């Protein structure tokens, strides 16, 4: 395995991994605080750092079928949530939004 590079965030309000406390995002990146996931309340963020991506898959949500990819902490590998992927073409698509569970 290669060297792990961790990005630090300079902000007054930083969201961190609850397991290893590595920086993930800042309050300025919040899109929606009233987002619900099957495990409870969740926040929707625009940009998240220090994550690794899982495989793309289609999942059924209240809003319909979406292509998503799980996101994990790059330091401790804790599952954080998922990101939405546009148009369902996993290998060639752009990230629309990322979500991190609270």
Residue 21 lies in a domain: no
Residue 38 lies in a domain: yes
Rounded to 5°, angle at Cα 10 from 76 and 13: 80
Statement: residue 39 has pLDDT above 50: yes
Residue 11 lies in a domain: no
Residue 87 lies in a domain: yes
Read off the pTM: 0.79
Among 3-12, 28-37, 80-89, the range of highest mean pLDDT: 3-12
For 28, list phi and psi in degrees, rounded to 5.
-70, -15
Residue 71 lies in a domain: yes
Range of the domain at 89: 30-101
Residue 8 lies in a domain: no
Residue 2 lies in a domain: no
* Number of structural domains found in the chain: 1
Residue 65 lies in a domain: yes
Mean pLDDT of 71-83: 94
């Amino acid at each position: 395995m290669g060297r792990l590079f961790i990005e630090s965030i300079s902000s007054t309000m930083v969201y961190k991994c609850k397991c290893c406390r590595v920086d993930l995002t800042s309050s300025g990146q919040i899109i929606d605080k009233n987002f619900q996931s099957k495990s409870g309340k969740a926040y929707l963020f625009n940009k998240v750092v220090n994550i690794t991506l899982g495989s793309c898959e289609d999942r059924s949500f209240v809003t319909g079928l979406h292509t998503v990819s799980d996101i994990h902490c790059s330091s401790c590998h804790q599952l954080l949530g998922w990101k939405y992927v546009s148009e369902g073409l996993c290998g060639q698509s752009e990230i629309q939004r990322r979500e991190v569970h609270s």
